[in-house]
């Protein structure tokens, strides 16, 4: 339970005897001295049997002793006495949360408030406890009590905000509407009444008022408030200003919106929303036909030209000219006033040396006909060719423009071509200019990126295209690795290089290197929810080691922190009156609490722990029925991507198997529950959970999200679950189920795995298959060991042999791994070096990427590929 902070505890006072005794009991509990705590508490209760503080500590001792039923009963008795001692209440709160009974918290505080209606501290503590625990109904009751009992304006706004929050969270439509109306009636009376002490005085209170107005569908009233004299006082708040623009648009006040935005732009407000809404208003201004009046179009274009010329390096003003050309192409091009191509060319001339150039023009370029696209690409290349390159600054600008040109070339041509020679020529161009650009980075700081880094990324994307066209060889992957490794040695903090190198290292089973690179990103804790999938997807079947387990558990820290810290942040938003942030913090809390990636990481962690025989006391985070409602927060747009918007991003073609989502996670969650039942020997209701697993495994979605081997191994787990249920329930089908497990083991591990040609597979896939097979052997061994006693009476002929069969299969896997290591070694280092020497454009890198450097990188990779199976003997011995 998160602490509620110093604002909710009584101030310092002289410690009395009762406080000193309570402190001794608490200290004993903190050090794990349960018996000492029991003795001290019993002694204290003999002297003061009616002390609510000692009674609450006694309940806490019962909880710490594992006597949950007794602790719950003791707390219920204490609640009925309506304690008012803050320390006792805090202890009761902690116990209720530990017992997963937060719904009883309101009873505790309501009883205390009834006994001491004038105690403001208790009333405040009640309110903040409800906020922290997400109890909107309790929060509303507590805020109403504060507002009525103490009459402070902050309590009034807490009450209104609580009603609005309750309206948002209430599921019933009628009840939600009732709370919304109550919030509206309460604030409408005083919001704009300057004679009232509850009148709006801050932009945050204005946010709350407008939120309530919009909830009542009173957009016109909200706009009137914002545009009135009262609302104008708060226009310094960017969010309120933007709300005003949005309301003008939604209410169809195009003339007012146009005039306002044009005035703001001419007054120097360099804000893309202002320009965008200005042009949107022009487009929606009706003329004699379906287009805006010609004089308005002309005057707008003149104004845009004026602003762009006045501020030639204003990205917004210049991009507005592009947008306007694409908004009204028929009108502007009919008389040759301004064309889409004119706009694109003008923008490129001014911003060709900025990263934003490609980002801003891509969507517009894709709207043009193919012939016009080619014309633009020819123009771009011509502009780069004539750029000056005398001074260092001019050379840096030329590299940036060249990079943007290559991005446009990739978008329009390279991303779709199957011309091998053309792809190699593109790679060579990129590598050549990258090599030249390195001389320009001599004055850069060690933390800076080199000017040509994006050219390396584009070259690698083209090499990946070559790999997809010739899947019989991995030479272009080796070339990509060397190129990225070298570029990273020059730009040690380039996260784009690191992300792509992490992915390629995983593909080639160089897992330690992938971990090292990813960890060097030093991502913020909260980013683990969106980015760590880059490293950890399927890690349990790629690199089941203690290092991986440590990383997985580290990723889970953000979810623990969210549960502990976000409720406190919610409390502080009320304390500070930051009402606009309430929804934001609530959204943040729910996003992490219901994160799909959280469930996936948890499943992977349990799988690795089980493979390594690591004691794992953590329970599976989600129940099977909760998985469908989880939110996928993973970010797949962070990597540079110059593919057309209609095509999948570059990274999608180079994932380690299909993208796992809800169906994959559900199979993993249910599978963990099944294995837990088997390990614990608790088969009560096992038939239901096994049936749920079967349905999840047979779903079309799971087949789409899983690898072929994941599907096969999940089908085995269903067999294991069905066999366990049949044995426990003494069903006649038990023998047949056990026979199927034995058959699965022989067919899928012995024949399919060992019989397949693996030399041309990407290394990650071979590792994935071997670890899945090992995991299946482990599951079979656990099943056989756990059900020895219930299986005896059935006299199952195949059952006693299962564990030895699993161990034999695992030993054969070990032998096969040794063969696979030879396969890796047989890919001669000389052959790999030769492949990298053929990297288009490598000659331009000269001695920077010499034979020694290449051998050094490839030797390390080969050693890491061999080392990924180092833990297998221990896993086999554990069977």
Query: What is the band of 6 on the pLDDT scale with cuts at 50, 70, 90?
Result: very low
Residues 300 and 282: beta-carbon distance below 8 Å: yes
Residue 70, pLDDT above cutoff 60: yes
CA distance 188 to 445: 57
In-domain check, residue 776: no
- Co-location of 325 and 397 in the same domain: no
In-domain check, residue 575: no
Residues 690 and 722: beta-carbon distance below 8 Å: yes
Q: 3-state class of 565 per DSSP?
A: helix
- Co-location of 41 and 69 in the same domain: yes
Give start and end residues of each alpha helix (H) in 615-762: 662-680, 686-698, 700-705, 708-728, 734-744, 754-755
| Chain segment 431-449, per-residue pLDDT in tens | 999 999 999 977 889 899 9
Question: Which residues lie closer than 8 Å to 205 by C-beta, 6 or more apart?
Answer: 157, 577, 579
Q: 3-state class of 674 per DSSP?
A: helix
Q: 3-state class of 816 per DSSP?
A: helix
- Co-location of 407 and 426 in the same domain: no
Count of CB atoms situated within 10 Å of the CB of 715 = 16
In-domain check, residue 833: yes
In-domain check, residue 581: no
Question: For a pLDDT cut of 90, what percent of the chain falls above it?
Answer: 68
Decide which of 820 and 580 is more confident.
580
- Co-location of 452 and 390 in the same domain: no
Q: What is the dihedral of CA 307, 311, 317, 318, to 10 degrees?
A: 110
- Co-location of 11 and 63 in the same domain: yes
Number of compact structural domains in the chain? 5
Which span out of 285-289, 385-389, 613-617 was modeled with the highest average pLDDT? 385-389
Decide which of 319 and 90 is more confident.
319
Question: Which pLDDT belongs to residue 98?
Answer: 87
- Co-location of 405 and 425 in the same domain: no
- Co-location of 245 and 298 in the same domain: no
CATH number at residue 33: 1.25.40.10
CA distance 479 to 838: 8
Question: Which pLDDT belongs to residue 253?
Answer: 96
Residue 756, pLDDT above cutoff 70: no
Angle (CA) 765 767 772, round 5°: 95
In-domain check, residue 165: yes
Give start and end residues of each alpha helix (H) in 416-527: 420-437, 453-469, 475-490, 495-507, 511-520
- Co-location of 406 and 499 in the same domain: no
Decide which of 325 and 813 is more confident.
325
Average pLDDT score over residue span 232-251: 95
- Residue 578: exposure state from Cβ atoms within 10 A (0-12, 13-18, ≥19): middle
| Chain segment 329-367, per-residue pLDDT in tens | 988 888 778 899 999 999 999 999 999 999 999 999 999
From 5-9, 298-302, 752-756, 815-819, the region with the lowest mean pLDDT: 5-9
Write down which residue in 133, 156, 178 finishes a domain.
133
CA distance 398 to 385: 9
- Co-location of 458 and 431 in the same domain: yes
- Co-location of 373 and 341 in the same domain: no
In-domain check, residue 194: yes
Residues 509 and 763: beta-carbon distance below 8 Å: yes
CA distance 30 to 10: 22
Count of CB atoms situated within 10 Å of the CB of 70 = 15
Question: Which pLDDT belongs to residue 257?
Answer: 97
- Residue 812: exposure state from Cβ atoms within 10 A (0-12, 13-18, ≥19): middle
Question: Which pLDDT belongs to residue 290?
Answer: 77
Average pLDDT score over residue span 274-291: 90
Residue 791, pLDDT above cutoff 90: no
| Chain segment 483-522, per-residue pLDDT in tens | 999 999 999 999 999 999 999 999 999 999 999 999 999 9
- Co-location of 74 and 116 in the same domain: yes
CA distance 618 to 608: 13
Question: Two tokens at 440?
Answer: 């320009």
Query: What is the band of 9 on the pLDDT scale with cuts at 50, 70, 90?
Result: very low
| Chain segment 651-682, per-residue pLDDT in tens | 998 999 999 999 999 999 999 999 988 888 77
Contacts by residues 414-419 (CB-CB < 8 Å, ≥ 24 positions apart):
414/461, 414/462, 414/465, 415/465, 415/642, 415/643, 415/644, 415/647, 416/644, 416/647, 417/465, 418/469
> What is the rounded radius of gyration, in angstroms, for the C-alpha atoms of the chain?
34
- Co-location of 46 and 161 in the same domain: no
Question: Which pLDDT belongs to residue 615?
Answer: 79
Q: What is the largest CA-CA distance in the chain?
A: 99
Question: Which pLDDT belongs to residue 826?
Answer: 62
Query: What is the band of 5 on the pLDDT scale with cuts at 50, 70, 90?
Result: very low
Question: Two tokens at 870?
Answer: 């180092």
In-domain check, residue 629: no
Question: Which pLDDT belongs to residue 8?
Answer: 41
Question: Which pLDDT belongs to residue 390?
Answer: 87
From 207-221, 587-601, 700-714, 751-765, the region with the lowest mean pLDDT: 751-765
Report the Cα–Cα distance between both ends of the chain, in Å, rounded.
Answer: 40
Q: Identify the CA nearest to 640 among candidates 510, 456, 487.
A: 456
Write down which residue in 327, 351, 375 finishes a domain.
351
Write down which residue in 202, 221, 251 finishes a domain.
251
Question: Which pLDDT belongs to residue 751?
Answer: 65
Residue 811, pLDDT above cutoff 90: no
**What residues make up the domain containing 161?**
148-251
Decide which of 684 and 91 is more confident.
91
Q: 3-state class of 194 per DSSP?
A: coil
In-domain check, residue 555: no
Name the helix (H) or strand (E) containing 399. Answer: helix 392-409
């Amino acid at each position: 339970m998160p602490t509620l902070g110093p604002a909710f505890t009584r101030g310092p006072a002289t410690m009395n005897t009762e406080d000193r005794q309570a402190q001794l009991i608490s200290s004993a509990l903190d050090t794990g001295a349960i018996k000492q705590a029991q003795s001290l508490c019993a002694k204290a209760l003999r002297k003061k049997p009616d002390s609510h503080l000692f009674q609450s500590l006694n309940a806490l001792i019962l909880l710490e002793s594992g006597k949950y039923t007794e602790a719950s009963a003791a707390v219920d008795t204490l609640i009925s006495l309506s304690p008012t001692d803050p320390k006792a209440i805090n202890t009761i709160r902690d116990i209720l949360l530990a017992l997963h009974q937060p719904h009883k918290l309101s009873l505790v505080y309501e009883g205390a408030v009834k006994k001491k209606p004038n105690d403001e501290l208790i009333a405040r503590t009640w309110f903040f406890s409800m906020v922290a625990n997400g109890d909107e109904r309790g929060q509303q009751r507590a805020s109403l009590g504060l507002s009525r009992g103490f009459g402070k304006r902050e309590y009034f706004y807490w009450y209104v905000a609580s009603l609005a929050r309750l309206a948002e969270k209430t599921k019933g439509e009628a009840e939600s509407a009732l709370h919304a109306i109550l919030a509206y009636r309460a604030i409408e009376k005083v919001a704009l009444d300057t004679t009232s002490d509850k009148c709006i005085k801050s932009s945050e209170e204005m946010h709350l008022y407008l939120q309530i107005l919009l909830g009542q569908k009173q957009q016109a009233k909200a706009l009137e408030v914002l545009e009135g004299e009262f609302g104008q006082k708060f226009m310094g708040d960017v969010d309120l200003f933007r709300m005003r623009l949005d309301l003008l648009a939604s209410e169809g006040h195009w003339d007012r919106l146009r005039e306002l935005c044009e005035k703001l732009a001419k007054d120097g407000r360099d804000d893309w929303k202002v320009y965008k809404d200005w042009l949107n208003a022009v487009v929606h201004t009706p003329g004699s036909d379906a287009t805006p009046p010609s004089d308005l179009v002309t005057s707008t274009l003149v104004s845009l030209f004026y602003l762009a010329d006045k501020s030639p390096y204003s990205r917004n003003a210049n991009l507005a000219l592009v947008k306007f050309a694409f908004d009204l192409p028929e009108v502007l091009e009919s008389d040759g006033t301004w064309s889409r191509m004119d706009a694109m060319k003008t923008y490129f001339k001014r911003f060709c040396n900025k990263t934003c150039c490609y980002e801003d023009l891509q969507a517009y370029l894709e709207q043009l006909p193919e012939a016009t696209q080619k014309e633009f690409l020819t123009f771009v290349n011509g502009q780069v060719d004539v750029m000056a390159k005398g001074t260092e600054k001019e050379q840096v600008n030329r590299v940036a423009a060249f990079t943007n040109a290559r991005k446009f070339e990739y978008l329009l041509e390279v991303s779709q071509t199957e011309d091998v020679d053309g792809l190699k020529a593109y790679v060579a161009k990129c590598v050549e200019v990258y090599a030249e650009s390195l001389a320009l980075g001599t004055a850069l700081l060690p933390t800076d990126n080199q000017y040509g880094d994006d050219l390396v990324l584009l070259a690698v994307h083209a090499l990946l295209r070559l790999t997809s066209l010739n899947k019989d060889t991995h030479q272009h992957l080796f070339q990509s690795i060397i190129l990225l490794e070298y570029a990273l040695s020059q730009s040690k903090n380039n996260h784009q290089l690191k992300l792509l190198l992490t992915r390629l290292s995983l593909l080639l089973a160089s897992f330690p290197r992938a971990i090292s690179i990813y960890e060097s990103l030093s991502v913020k804790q909260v980013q683990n929810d969106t980015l760590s999938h880059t490293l950890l997807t399927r890690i349990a079947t790629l690199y089941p080691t203690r290092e991986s387990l440590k990383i997985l558990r580290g990723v889970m820290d953000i979810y623990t922190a969210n549960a502990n810290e976000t409720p406190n942040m919610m409390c502080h938003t009320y304390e500070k009156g930051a009402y606009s942030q309430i929804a934001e913090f609530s959204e943040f809390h729910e996003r992490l609490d219901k994160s799909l990636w959280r469930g996936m990481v948890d499943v992977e962690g349990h799988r690795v722990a089980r493979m390594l025989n690591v004691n794992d006391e953590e329970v599976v985070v989600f129940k099977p029925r909760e998985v469908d409602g989880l939110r996928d927060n993973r970010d797949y747009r962070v990597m540079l991507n110059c593919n057309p918007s209609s095509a999948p991003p570059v990274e999608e073609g180079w994932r380690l198997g299909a993208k796992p989502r809800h169906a994959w996670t559900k199979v993993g969650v249910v599978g963990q529950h099944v294995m837990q039942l088997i390990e614990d020997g608790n088969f009560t209701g096992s038939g239901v959970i096994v049936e749920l697993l079967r349905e999840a495994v047979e779903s079309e979605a799971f087949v789409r999200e899983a690898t072929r081997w994941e599907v096969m191994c999940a089908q085995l787990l269903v067999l294991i679950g069905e066999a366990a249920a049949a044995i426990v329930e003494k069903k006649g089908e038990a023998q047949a189920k056990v026979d199927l497990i034995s058959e699965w083991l022989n067919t899928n591990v012995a024949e399919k795995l060992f019989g397949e040609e693996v030399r041309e597979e990407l290394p990650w896939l071979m590792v994935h298959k071997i670890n899945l097979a090992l995991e299946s052997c482990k599951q079979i061994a656990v099943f056989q060991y756990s059900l020895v006693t219930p299986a005896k009476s059935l006299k199952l002929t195949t059952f006693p042999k299962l564990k030895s069969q699993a161990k034999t299969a695992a030993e054969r896997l070990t032998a096969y791994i040794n063969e696979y290591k030879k396969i890796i070694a047989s890919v001669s280092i000389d052959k790999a070096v030769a492949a990298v020497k053929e990297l288009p454009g490598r000659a331009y890198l000269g001695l920077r990427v010499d034979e020694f450097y290449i051998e050094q990188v490839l030797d390390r990779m080969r050693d890491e590929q061999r080392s990924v199976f180092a833990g297998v003997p221990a896993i086999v011995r554990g069977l």
